[in-house]
């Protein structure tokens, strides 16, 4: 079925589409029929910039297990990255 | 000179008459035109549509081919031409026209991210398509409506909310049975509530393994159809789920698809081509 399940968030960053890099403004995360992945339903992520038209889109379609791995990988990388780039406090310098 | 041809090389009118019966034989003239046209849809807006029609004098029955959620793309172009090949004036309105233009996939993603297309908008576009088809001199003034998945639901809705369709085909239309919690501003009424208003015979093709509509959803709809004395014909295919016509998807089920198309054309022939 077409679930109509979609979650939307404002994001800031850059994405690379068919026309090159563009500013990202929004991400749409849906659980619905994919366009290409050979699945009945997929976790679809569209990074978009609505101001630049529908072609300003970076799309991925993942099976649920892959989507969960992606979530874990993002959280792990974020956690490690933020820890490694944390500004040293006065006490740790001493 | 080829005895089947007239003086100018075209097949004789008797052959064209045979074309109208769509029983093609190898000695018969055959042709179709498929092109983008404009029509007036919901709110008086002009939208584009893909129109495929057989060549010949007709009169031909018509079909409004409502595209599914994944977009106004190649699959629906093919289906529209398939109807024309079988002798129908087939018109597929671009129900996403108002959102934006781009590749069908990108437009569908935009619509998905925007919460989908409103039921009222689709009904208005279906009404405009119906009006256009019936106005054509080559029309036999009978028009059906067809859809799969989200558009199977919309085909059912159109057959309930509009007067003028002569037959409707709902292929695995989900979300016809909605709880109050599932209603949205775009889909404010559960379509099953409109069953009493169904204005034409309905053919339903479903898969036993579908998650929406489940066989229980189909039973609920069937119960309502019986309650209101509506004409319907439902087929539930074993070992098939959602989208078993889609030959490019893992859901494709060859046996069910072949049988489903046959049943669909028998149904449309009965209600759209046979004299009243």
For chain A, the domains span 5-86
Residue of A nearest to B213 (CA): A1
A22-67 confidence digits (pLDDT tens): 999 999 999 999 999 999 899 999 999 999 999 999 999 999 999 9
In this prediction, residue B1 carries a pLDDT of 35
Residue B135: C-alpha distances to residues B46, B113, B126, B140, B143 (Å): 17, 36, 14, 10, 11
Q: How far is B210 from chain A (nearest CA, A)?
A: 8
B188-233 confidence digits (pLDDT tens): 999 999 999 999 999 999 999 999 999 999 999 999 999 999 999 9
User: Are A31 and A5 a contacting pair, CB within 8 Å?
Assistant: yes
Rounded Cα–Cα distance for residues B269 and B192 (Å) = 26
The mean predicted confidence, pLDDT, of chain B is 92
- A42 at interface of B, judged by CB pairs closer than 8 A: no
Beta-sheet strand order (sheet of A20-32): A5-17, A20-32, A42-48, A57-62
In this prediction, residue B6 carries a pLDDT of 39
Contact: A54, B109; criterion CB under 8 Å: yes
In this prediction, residue A90 carries a pLDDT of 63
Considering only residues A91 and B237, tell me which one the structure prediction assigns the higher pLDDT.
B237
pLDDT at A94 over 60: no
Query: With contacts defined as CB-CB under 8 Å, which chain B residues touch A50?
Result: 110
CB pairs A-B closer than 8 Å: 78
- A53 at interface of B, judged by CB pairs closer than 8 A: yes
pLDDT at A19 over 60: yes
Helix (H, G, I), strand (E, B), or coil: what is residue B145?
A: strand
The encoded tokens of residue A70 equal: 């992606």
The interface residues of chain B toward chain A in range 77-136, judged by CB-CB distance below 8 A, are 99-103, 105-110, 112-113, 115-116
Once rounded to an integer, what is the mean pLDDT over residues A69-92? 86
- Domains along chain B with CATH numbers: 1-30 (no CATH), 32-273 (3.40.50.1820)
- B147 at interface of A, judged by CB pairs closer than 8 A: no
In this prediction, residue A1 carries a pLDDT of 63
In this prediction, residue B162 carries a pLDDT of 98
| DSSP labels, B197-226 | G--S-EEEEEETT-SSS-HHHHHHHHHHHH
Residue B165: C-alpha distances to residues A43, B18, B134, B156, B195 (Å): 37, 25, 10, 11, 15
Residue ranges of chain B with pLDDT lower than 70?
Answer: 1-23, 276
Q: How far is B206 from chain A (nearest CA, A)?
A: 11
Helix (H, G, I), strand (E, B), or coil: what is residue B35?
A: strand
In this prediction, residue A67 carries a pLDDT of 98
Rounded Cα–Cα distance for residues B114 and A54 (Å) = 12
Cα-Cα-Cα-Cα torsion B133, B136, B142, B147, nearest 10 degrees, comes to: -20
Residue of B nearest to A17 (CA): B106
The mean predicted confidence, pLDDT, of chain A is 92
Contact: B174, A55; criterion CB under 8 Å: no
Query: With contacts defined as CB-CB under 8 Å, which chain B residues touch A33?
Result: 69-70, 149, 243
| Interface pTM, i.e. ipTM | 0.82
User: Are B121 and B40 a contacting pair, CB within 8 Å?
Assistant: no
């Amino acid at each position: 079925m077409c679930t109509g399940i979609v979650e939307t968030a404002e994001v800031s960053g850059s994405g690379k589409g068919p026309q090159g890099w563009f500013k990202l403004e929004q991400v749409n995360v849906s659980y619905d029929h994919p366009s290409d992945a050979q699945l009945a339903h997929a976790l679809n992520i569209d990074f978009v910039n609505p101001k630049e038209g529908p072609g300003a889109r970076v799309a991925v379609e993942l099976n649920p297990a892959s989507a969960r791995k992606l979530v874990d990988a993002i959280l792990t990388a974020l956690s490690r990255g933020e820890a490694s780039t944390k500004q040293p406090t006065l006490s740790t310098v001493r | 000179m080829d005895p089947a041809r007239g003086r100018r090389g075209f097949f004789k009118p008797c052959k064209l008459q045979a074309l109208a019966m769509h029983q093609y034989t190898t000695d018969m003239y055959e042709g179709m035109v498929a092109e983008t046209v404009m029509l007036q849809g919901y709110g008086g807006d002009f939208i584009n549509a893909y129109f495929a029609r057989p060549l010949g004098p007709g009169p031909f029955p018509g079909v409004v081919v409502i595209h599914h959620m994944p977009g106004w793309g190649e699959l629906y172009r093919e289906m529209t031409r398939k109807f024309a090949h079988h002798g129908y004036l087939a018109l597929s309105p671009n129900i996403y026209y108002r959102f934006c233009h781009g590749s069908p996939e990108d437009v569908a993603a935009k619509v998905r991210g925007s919460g989908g297309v409103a039921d009222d908008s689709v009904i208005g576009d279906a009404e405009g398509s119906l009006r256009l088809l019936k106005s054509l001199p080559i029309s036999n003034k009978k028009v059906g409506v067809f859809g799969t998945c989200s558009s199977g639901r919309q085909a059912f809705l159109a057959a309930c909310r509009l007067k003028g369709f002569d037959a409707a085909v709902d292929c695995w239309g989900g979300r016809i049975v909605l709880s109050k919690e599932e209603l949205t501003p775009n889909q404010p009424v559960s379509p099953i509530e409109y069953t009493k208003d169904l204005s034409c015979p309905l053919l339903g093709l479903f898969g036993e393994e579908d998650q929406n509509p489940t066989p229980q959803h189909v039973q609920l709809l069937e119960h309502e159809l019986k309650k209101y004395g509506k004409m319907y014909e439902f087929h539930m295919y074993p070992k098939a789920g959602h989208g078993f016509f889609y030959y490019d998807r893992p859901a494709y089920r060859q046996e069910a698809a072949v049988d489903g198309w046959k049943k669909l054309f028998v149904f449309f022939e009965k209600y759209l081509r046979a004299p009243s």
